[in-house]
Structure 1
Amino acid sequence: MLKNQAQIISGYSQKINEVTSKIEQTKKLIDQLSLVRIGLFLAEILFFILLLNSADDNGRTLIQIALLLPVFGFVFVVRKQAKLDREIDYEKQLLWVYQNEWNQLNGKPNGYDSGKEFESESHPYSSDLDIFGNASLFALINRCYTKTGNDLLAKRLANKSLKEEILSRQEAVKEIQEKIEETFFLRANLHGHDIQKIEQIKIQLQGNLGLQLAFVRNKFLRLYVAIAPYFTLGLVLAAIFVGGLFSNVLGLFVFIHLGINIFFNSKINLVFYSFGGGSGLLNSYAKAIKWTENQDWKSQYITCLFTSKIPVSKEIETLSKVIQKFDARLNLIVGGFLNGLCLWDLQCCISLDKWYQSSSKDVITTLNHLGDFEELISLATLAHNHPEWVYPKVEDGFLLTAVEVGHPLISIEKRVNNNFHLEQMPTVDIVTGSNMAGKSTFLRTLGINMVLAYAGAPVCAKSLQLSVFSINSYMRIKDSLNESTSTFKAELDRLKMILNNIKHDKNTFVLIDEMLRGTNSKDKYLGSKVFVEKLITEKTPGLFATHDLQLADLQHDHQQTLRNFHFDIQINNREMEFDYKLKQGPCSTFNAAILLKQIGLSLN
């Protein structure tokens, strides 16, 4: 049964309450274990006092054994607490994910990246159609936390795709939409980590690490590091039970080991500081990857993402364990003790080298493919959160038919939907109308839904059928003081870009809002007329919003290739009312005189 948006918001509220309750329960359990740790510490002190006051008999032996019990109990409790700390970290990230969905559906900003870094006024349409930046399409859709995911989503929204790829992506998005509840698990595991750290690790795995670990490939060194722990253990036991010479020999070997560690310290640091502290991050990434591996995927687009014959999640878990052991060197006392006895840092470097030789290529590919899943999950979440939206039908030929298409960035309470279709042959459609009547919004509505369609996402419409076009727009033209560019020069540059794109791609669709604003009215009309006729000659479809009614008159000379539409106003009790509905024919009612009168200027 298809849910409506109110039910979806209610579902998120329920999830928020469930996770919040679980976090509180986990916190209470952690606090209880903290009390147990204090109790075990006090018990250890008590047993130690009893040992000091005990006679040299069987009771003393029992107390000595009892001294070990609080130690073992303490170790167990610490490990249990560490596990609960990891659980609560995950639960907090999961709560953030659910809270973010609830916030966005209630009109608050998306907590993920807005894509501001991808903004470009030179792009054929992204700036005009609000694709990137604050309050943009990217900001609405994005559920990517990794750099790879953000880059892939931006690429999908900024580039043209082939029909086959669009349909393949639609299939993949639909399949993930069926598993939407499980995707929150993946997102929670990826969120909250240091994004730069995983990029640093990937760079290391791509080449640097192999060179940095060359120093541990000496056969003699590897052999000695392998036997050192056993040799040192023997010396420790001999020093305890025999003493004397063995104690001196043990001290000598500890001194030698520390010297070896100092000798290789610069090379060890080079390896460690590219991975150190990354074990928790990699463990979470391994869990996310494991989820993708355990699904029985059907769509070809997703199955092609899996190139490894073995579970890569296990390889990453192994790497995480090596790094976790390596992190012991961060504690100077523990690290010094381990290096003195068994050359711990070199042990970790050798383990890392063994892992690198067998696993690194698959891991890099799979870590990058997490971005593919994030990008698809972003579109699937959009479909889940807006069940009234539909997947468009992408077809061959020349086609665009939209029924009740609305702007996805306008709230459902304020959104006004319109119908629109192209004829069987390309036409230039002139859209006239008053200020604030809805011309610009309609152009952006059509363009932004086309961008959604080509990304493989659902669109804000009752239905949409279209072929694949290259979108070119001309709307927000700005001057530039830094580049000494006037508005008119900027407009000419934009027109030149569009004409060049039309020349190289015959499947171009042009959206223009009030052309040549930076020049006089006569040149503006003549320039607009020439451009419209150029589009007609090139058989390039376009929507042309303007206040200039003379352009609407061009239909007399181009009856088969130019159409007129308009948005009008109604005047009730001297008040303007807009219905924002697209209508046939040129506009006959304008509001400039009314608006001027309101500020004290009257037209005769």
Structure 2
Amino acid sequence: MQSLGRLQTAAARRSRVYGISKLVIAVLTLAAAGFLIHVLSGLLMLTVPTAIFLVLVVLHEKTLERMRYRARAIRFYEDGLARLNDNWRGRGETGDRFLDPAHPYARDLDIFGTTSVFQYLSTARTRAGEQTLANWLLTAAPMDDVMARQAAVRDLAPRLQLREGIASAGESVRSGVHPDVLSLWGRATPILTTTATRVASSGLALLWLLSIVAWIWWSSPLPALVMSLFNFGYSHRIAARLDKAVGGIERAAGDLELLAAVLALLESEQFTAPRLVDLQIALRCDGICPSEAIRKLARLADLIESRHSLFARPLDLVTFWSAQLVFLAERWQHIFGPQLRVWLDTVGELEALSSLSGFAFEHPDYAFPQLVEIGPQFDAECLAHPLLPIGKAVENDFCLDAQRQLMVLSGPNMAGKSTFIRAIGVNAVLAQCGAPVRARKLTISPLQVAASICILDSLSGGVSRFYAEIGRVKMITDLAQDTTPVLFLLDELLSGTNSHDRLIGTEFVLRALVEHHGIGIVSTHDLALTRIPETMNGRGFNAHFEDRIDGEALVFDYKLKPGVVQTSNALKLMRAIGLGVSE
């Protein structure tokens, strides 16, 4: 990154030199033109500084383009360092638009939002890439797909220059490349292109040009006036269809240069992972590179957009040049439109894999999970939450399987119960989307993650927290009816009712989940619930976190220990903030 910074500084100096040079040459040329305005031979001499000015314009623009690319590359490395230094919060896309409150775990595990898993992982520049990564985080992939993604991530992780190129290609894309809009346009029926429209618009434009020639040659403006009026009328006749066709192209063609740049990177790379090779094969289209085809559409879209210019609009009314461009765009649509969805999906998958491979590259000590068909099973060594910084995360071993399906987790406030539960869930989500996990080792079978951790009431909907919670519990028990075992993660289950009802309700829910081959964890402050494992015929067990007093301070080690917690710190915490409660 330091070399990029030095190059950027040198380029900034060149840019200033080019800018000053252009200004000086422009001023001198205009001044000279003023003196030589009546001398034809002198004016011809001004072609030399004019040519120099044009060369400087081209060189300056190329310098600015390289500076813009380099700025994005520097941002790519700065984001990586921010993640490693725990300064990543607030950087990048949050993915809020993908959050569905009814999803089994997205809100509870902070998959989207500020300081979320998505914000930490995503380096995608296109909406297709963000959509693909979000889908992977929301839905567990089949085992074969997970293993294929793991191989692709391993292949991409050391390709730093490729990932830099993907992250640095094109301009900002926040308002462009809407994959659904673009793919729908690609499959749509052409609006303007008919034989009659093409013949009429081309013929009338030619006749108008001939009328201008006649005016110049015979000094008679009448043919040009007649043709102009006739063409104005025809322009009005096709205006609605033309505007509709142009609008569709402009909406579909956001920042296509970025899409083309990412496709070009994928086309030129030599991969070893089968999934990446398959992505390259999917791009092939009768020997034509998709990146070049997309660039051609981008150029057409840019030219079509210029029809809104104050000077271009009147000329368009008599020459129909924008209609000719639409004919070309709709011809492109006919040839390549059906492939657009494949190209967009390919770019989306490449960007999602690039995001996961960046995560793997930055954390080489994280393990790729071992996938097993026989389950249920979640067996982890030295597991921790992947969003916690190095040095603050405490690693714990954790195992659930067909023999030990339920952990009842007790412990005092602030001891780490909720964070530990989220660590299990987030690592399970990462494992089933093809990413490495924050553990020394993880063996996992196919599981449906479901959580009840962050339950909110709804004032507008008239729903209490307790009612919202039992609704979530009902959803989790319904998921348990499926063939894929549920990994249930329940934090302070049914805390909104009395101890008697809570014990009966919790035992009923846990027994139902266990009987349907689910595995999971429930945390509690209510020690009455720690008796539930005794009724589970060996399939349940207790574990706890604890604290200790060090002088006047409470100290937490965040280490998971077997058995039921023997301490409580509620009164200690109340006194610590100035509430003089007595024993």
Letter in 2 for 1:153: L
Q: Does 1:396 align with 2:373?
A: yes
Q: How does 1:269-348 map to 2 (within 5 A)?
A: 269-275=243-249, 281-305=255-279, 306-309=282-285, 310-334=288-312, 336-337=314-315, 342-348=319-325
Aligned residue among 327, 330, 355 for 1:378: 355
Maintained 8 Å contact 2:366/2:437:
yes
Partners of 1:505 and 1:23 lie apart in 2 by: 61
> Shift in Å at residue 488 of structure 1?
2.6
RMSD of aligned C-alpha atoms?
A: 3.1
Letter in 1 for 2:396: N
State which drifts further: 221-230 or 122-131.
Answer: 221-230
State which drifts further: 546-555 or 394-403.
Answer: 546-555
Letter in 1 for 2:146: I
Q: How does 1:121-160 map to 2 (within 5 A)?
A: 121-160=101-140
> Shift in Å at residue 225 of structure 1?
6.5
> Hey, what does 2:547 align to over in structure 1?
569
Partners of 2:155 and 2:333 lie apart in 1 by: 34
> Hey, what does 2:333 align to over in structure 1?
356
Q: Does 1:436 align with 2:414?
A: yes
Partners of 1:162 and 1:203 lie apart in 2 by: 26
Q: How does 1:137-536 map to 2 (within 5 A)?
A: 137-196=117-176, 198=178, 202=182, 205-208=185-188, 210-215=189-194, 218=197, 220-221=199-200, 224=203, 231=210, 236=213, 243-245=217-219, 249=223, 257=231, 260-275=234-249, 281-305=255-279, 306-309=282-285, 310-334=288-312, 336-337=314-315, 342-398=319-375, 399-423=377-401, 425-536=403-514
Partners of 1:297 and 1:448 lie apart in 2 by: 29
> Shift in Å at residue 427 of structure 1?
2.2
Change (3 A) 1:244 1:539: closer
Aligned residue among 27, 31, 50 for 2:39: 50
Letter in 2 for 1:297: F
Aligned residue among 69, 94, 100 for 1:120: 100
Maintained 8 Å contact 1:16/1:98:
no
State which drifts further: 193-202 or 314-323.
Answer: 193-202
Q: Does 1:33 align with 2:9?
A: no
Cα distance per residue 1:322-358 (max 9 Å; x no partner): 2333344333335545765x54223322322332222
Maintained 8 Å contact 1:222/1:350:
no
> Shift in Å at residue 97 of structure 1?
3.2
Change (3 A) 1:93 1:257: farther
Aligned residue among 519, 522, 526 for 1:544: 522
Aligned residue among 96, 100, 110 for 2:75: 96
What count of residue pairs does the alignment treat as equivalent? 575
Partners of 2:23 and 2:196 lie apart in 1 by: 45
Change (3 A) 1:557 1:147: same
Give the percent of matched residue pairs that are identical in Structure 1 and Structure 2: 25
> Shift in Å at residue 456 of structure 1?
0.6
Give 3-state SS (helix, strand or coil) of 2:169's partner. helix
Partners of 2:489 and 2:353 lie apart in 1 by: 28
Normalised by the length of structure 1, the TM-score is 0.85
> Shift in Å at residue 287 of structure 1?
1.8
Gaps of 5+ in 1: 1-11, 52-61
Partners of 2:252 and 2:477 lie apart in 1 by: 51
Cα distance per residue 1:532-561 (max 9 Å; x no partner): 333343342221211233333344444521
Partners of 2:159 and 2:251 lie apart in 1 by: 32
> Shift in Å at residue 404 of structure 1?
1.3
> Shift in Å at residue 446 of structure 1?
1.0
Partners of 2:131 and 2:333 lie apart in 1 by: 27
Give 3-state SS (helix, strand or coil) of 2:407's partner. strand
Letter in 2 for 1:331: S
Partners of 1:216 and 1:424 lie apart in 2 by: 69
Maintained 8 Å contact 2:412/2:546:
yes
Q: Does 1:588 align with 2:566?
A: yes
Change (3 A) 1:581 1:24: farther
